[in-house]
Amino acid sequence: MVKIITKILIANRGEIAVRVIRSAHDMGINTVSIYSDVDAQSPHVLLAREAVGIGGSTSAESYLDIDKIIKACKISGADAIHPGYGFLSENAGFAARCESEGIIFIGPSAQSIQIMGDKLSAKKKVKEFGVPLVPGIDFAISDLQKAIKIAEKITYPVMIKASAGGGGKGMRIVEDSSHFDEEMKRAMSEAKNSFGSDLVFIEKFIEAPKHIEVQIVGDHHGNYAALFERDCSIQRRNQKVIEEAPCALLTAEKREEIQDLAIKVARSCDYSGAGTVEFIADDQFNFYFLEMNTRLQVEHPVTEEITGIDLVKEQINIAMGEKLSINNESLTILGHSIEVRIYAEDPANHFLPDAGTLTTYKVPKGPGVRVDDGFEQGMTIPIQYDPMIAKLITHGSDREEARRRMIRAIDEYKISGIETTLGFCKFTLQHPEFVSGNYTTSFVKKHFSPEQLKEHLNKEEQIAASIAVLTFLKGQSEKQEIKPKSDHHKSSAWRNRLRK
């Protein structure tokens, strides 16, 4: 049965709220934004057809407050809610509440979220379907002695992970048995504090893998399609900063294998909507299931760029009960796409969040460049929420074109008033290991230090300065032909400065 959606409330903020509003308007659907006190002047509020203030400034008082959001939905008469990512997007209780209130939740069923939202129940489920897991246990453990025995059996290094973890938080690497006790205790208390559950499990820590994930979509009629893979191996703190599609090194056979595995995972929980199945791959491209994210992913634009498909539109159509309009046979890879995440963070200081005001904010333009953002010049990045400012995405006919275009776009991007990850992203894009495509999640640890970044940026500045001087000198010599005397002295002053 096809249900009609005429008005969507977006239960989110920032760039993802803007992103959803745009697709809804493209489809002729009305939109309602909600906003906390600190977000009253944000682009997502100004862009939506209607906006409802829900007060508060922390996440808990605003974008995580289910009662307030349902009330805003009723007041505005929206018939559907899009949760974006983060906040309530992977909250099974919220999806169930929407259903019981007669509101369409643009996402999978509460049951699918429940299974996949928890890493342990996800592992148990996909194991039944023959999907390979990272070696480890698929049950929670709290007994220290038992845990040590398990870690020894798995063999060190191991990772202690929070079952409810997300956003790269709630995982600890343990190199050997000497620190196991304290790491385990710390992991459990961190999990409890961040996610409200102290359930942890143990996995083999795979050294230097690639993070490869598959974008899938599924409708309410049992049809699935895999929209190729993304390589998200450039990470800091186990969280992605640069992503690309497709993976530069994947063969057609391996692509088919990982896509089949991803669809198996989706089937295992009767998935509907857009979702991402994450794997880590060793150097032989053996894939191990990590988790499934039951929502739109931060890096979804690279998939949109190489498929020509609007994933938000697909989500909305699926939520209305329509059948998928695509299948694996109808899809082809169109060129290559790269995304860099621009965080308000200081790469020279352990990527710590940097608060402040965007005194200059000028976005790049031109062929093959897309900016998904939720801020404008003069705005302050609120400390209450995620420090991501924007996502910069480029598309090219091949990987090299997308990469060069990204470097050009980063050069055009002007941000001041706040430290950002832009310089780090340029450093990475120009690194021979990234250029080769043969990079892993250990890239930052292996190649990046604040000193290297400084050196790289200095070199860049020197090159830019010499180009400026050469251009100047060229201009002078051309002028000299007309006015040799007056300009001669100026150009030698520049030359002298160069010699110093």
- Of 79 and 305, the one with the shorter C-beta distance to ligand ADP is 305
For the residues of 28-82, what is the DSSP string, one character each? T-EEEEEE-GGGTT-HHHHHSSEEEE---SSTTTTTT-HHHHHHHHHHHT-SEEE
Q: How far apart are CA 411 and CA 244, in angstroms?
A: 19
| Interface residue list for Mg ion (CB under 5 A) | 278
Structure tokens of 205? 């820590």
CA atoms within 13 A on the CB side of 418: 31
Residue 350 dihedral angles phi and psi, to the nearest 5°: 55, 30
- Of 29 and 162, the one with the shorter C-beta distance to ligand ADP is 162
- Of 165 and 273, the one with the shorter C-beta distance to Mg ion is 165
Do the Cβ atoms of 274 and 300 come closer than 8 Å? yes
Do the Cβ atoms of 117 and 44 come closer than 8 Å? no
Do the Cβ atoms of 213 and 245 come closer than 8 Å? no
- Residue 353 interacts, among ligand ADP, Mg ion, none and using kind-specific CB cut-offs from 5 to 8 Å, with none
| Interface residue list for ligand ADP (CB under 6 A) | 85-86, 134, 159, 165-168, 203-206, 209, 211, 235, 238-240, 278, 280, 290-291, 293, 297-299, 386, 441
- Residue 203 interacts, among ligand ADP, Mg ion, none and using kind-specific CB cut-offs from 5 to 8 Å, with ligand ADP
CB of 466: closest distance to ligand ADP in angstroms? 39
- Of 13 and 456, the one with the shorter C-beta distance to ligand ADP is 13
Give the three-class secondary structure for 390: strand
- Residue 159 interacts, among ligand ADP, Mg ion, none and using kind-specific CB cut-offs from 5 to 8 Å, with ligand ADP
Q: Which of 97, 236, 295, 341 is catalytic?
A: 295
| Residue appearing with tokens 């977006």 | 10
Residues whose CB falls within 8 Å of the CB of residue 241, separated by 6 or more in sequence, listed in order: 234, 235, 340, 341, 343, 421, 424, 425, 428
- Of 194 and 430, the one with the shorter C-beta distance to ligand ADP is 194
- Residue 190 interacts, among Mg ion, ligand ADP, none and using kind-specific CB cut-offs from 5 to 8 Å, with none
CB of 195: closest distance to ligand ADP in angstroms? 6
Q: What is the number of the residue whose Cβ is closest to ligand ADP?
A: 166
Q: 13 catalytic, yes or no? A: no
- Residue 386 interacts, among Mg ion, ligand ADP, none and using kind-specific CB cut-offs from 5 to 8 Å, with ligand ADP
- Name the helix (H) or strand (E) containing 471: helix 450-482
CB of 187: closest distance to ligand ADP in angstroms? 13
CB of 272: closest distance to Mg ion in angstroms? 20
Tell me the catalytic residues.
295
